[in-house]
Chains A and B, each alone.
Chain A
Amino acid sequence: MAVIKKFYLKSNRHSGTHIMSNGDGVVRATPSHLQALTAAALVLPGLLQSPAHAAEEDSVDFQYSHYQEGKRDISGFVSNLATQTESISKLPNNLNPIEVDSLHGSSRISLTDRIKFSFNYTQDTWSGATPVGTAPAIVRGNRARYNSTSTAVTGASPIAGEVTSFYLDKNSNILEVKTDPSTGELSPGSINNQLTHVLATASPETRKQGDFKLGYEWDEAAVDVGGGISIENDYESRFVNLGGRMDFNQKQTTVNLGLSYTNSDTFATLDADSLQFISTTSYEERFSDEQSGSFRFKGIEGSAGQIESTYDSLGRRSGAVLNGNRQDWGTQLGLTQVLNKDAVLELNMGYIRSTGFMANPYKLVYAFNFEALPEQDLSQPLLFIGQQARIEIRPDERNQFNWNLGYNQYIAPLDAALHFDYRFAHDDWGINAHTFEADWAQPIGSGWTVTPRVRYYSQSGADFYTPFLTILTTGYDTPALDSNGDAILDGDGNPVTNHIDTTKVPKYYSSDQRLSGFGALSGGVTVAKQFAKGVSLETGFEYYTHQGSLKIGGGGEQDFANYDYWVANAALKINLESIGAPGGHTGHSNHHHASNAPAGVMFDHALEKFGDVMVGYRFMRSEQAGNMLLGSQAVSQDTVRFNGCGDQECAVAPNFMAMNMHMLDLMVAPTDWLTLMLMPQWVDMEMDMTPLDNTPRGGHNHGGAAHDHQTGGIGDTGVYALFKLLEQSGHHINLSLGGTAPTGDVEVTLRKTVTNPIPGTLIHYGMQLGSGTWDFKPSLTYTGEIEQLSWGAQVTGTKRLESRNDANFAFGDIFQGSVWGGYQWTNWLTTTVRSAYTQQGAIHGKYRPLFDEFGNPFTPTHIGPFDTPANYGGQFVDLGLGINVTVPNGAFAGNTLKFEWLQPLHTDYNGYQLDRDGALSATWSIGF
Chain B
Amino acid sequence: MTPNHPALIFVLVSTLTACAPVQPWQRGNLAKPQMASDPYPLQSSLRAHNYGSREAASGSNSAQGGGCGCY
Contacts and interface: CB of A to CB of B under 8 A. Distances in A.
Whether A and B are associated in the same complex: the answer reads: yes
Interface of A: 11, 15, 17, 19, 39-40, 42-47, 51-52, 54-55, 61, 63, 65, 67, 98, 102, 104, 106, 124, 126, 128, 130, 202, 207, 209, 211, 228-230, 232, 234-235, 237, 239-241, 243, 249-252, 258-262, 264, 266, 268, 328, 330-332, 335-342, 344-348, 350, 352, 360-362, 400, 402-403, 405-406, 408, 410, 412, 415-417, 423-427, 429, 431-433, 435, 441-443, 449, 451, 457, 459, 462, 514-515, 520, 526, 528, 530, 538, 540, 542, 544, 546, 565, 567, 569, 571, 573
Residue of A230, A417, A429, A546 with highest tally of chain B CB at under 10 A: A417
Contacts of B39: 417, 441, 449, 451, 528
A234 B29 CA distance: 48
Nearest to A546: B54
Given A46-B28, A235-B70, 7 more contacts: A19-B25, A243-B62, A260-B62, A341-B27, A410-B29, A442-B34, A451-B40
B40 A417 contact: no
A400 B57 contact: yes
Contact of A202 (B25, B62, B71): B71
Interface string B15-29: 110111111111111
Contact of B30 (A51, A106, A540, A565): A51
Contact of A54 (B24, B28, B32, B38): B38
Given A102-B46, A228-B65, A348-B61, A342 B37 contact: no
B3 interface: yes
A416 B33 CA distance: 10
A569 B37 contact: no
A54 B36 contact: yes
Contacts of B50: 67, 544, 565, 567
B68 A340 contact: no
Nearest to A424: B3
The 3 closest A-B pairs by CB, nearest first: A46-B31, A239-B63, A260-B63
Contacts of A330: 60-63
Contacts of B56: 427, 429, 431, 433, 459, 462, 514-515
Contacts of B34: 415-417, 441-443, 449, 451
Contact of A332 (B19, B35, B51, B61): B61
B71 to A, nearest CB: 5
B63 A262 contact: yes
A527 B31 CA distance: 20
A249 B23 CA distance: 10
Contacts of A402: 57, 61
A107 to B, nearest CB: 12
Contact of B71 (A47, A130, A530): A130
Contact of A250 (B8, B21, B67, B71): B21
A209 B67 contact: yes
Contacts of B27: 43, 46-47, 338, 341
Contacts of A427: 56-57
Interface residues of B, number: 56
Given A237-B67, A340-B19, A441-B34, A42 B3 contact: no
A481 to B, nearest CB: 50
A526 B16 CA distance: 32
Contacts of A417: 32, 34-35, 39
A339 B61 CA distance: 25
B29 to A, nearest CB: 4
19 contacts: A15-B25, A211-B64, A235-B68, A243-B62, A261-B63, A330-B60, A338-B22, A338-B30, A339-B18, A341-B27, A341-B28, A342-B30, A348-B61, A362-B70, A415-B32, A417-B39, A515-B56, A540-B40, A544-B54
A571 B35 contact: no
B71 A241 contact: no
Interface in B38-57: 38-43, 45-47, 49-51, 54-57
Given A338-B27, A417-B32, A258 B61 contact: yes
Nearest to A348: B61
B3 to A, nearest CB: 5
A42 B28 contact: yes
A423 B24 CA distance: 30
B65 A237 contact: yes
Nearest to A45: B31
B25 A40 contact: yes
Contacts of A128: 71
B24 A340 contact: no
A614 B50 CA distance: 33
B65 to A, nearest CB: 4
A229 B65 contact: yes
A406 B39 CA distance: 14
Contacts of B12: 335, 347
B30 to A, nearest CB: 6
A571 B37 contact: no
B37 A52 contact: yes
Contacts of A51: 30, 35, 37
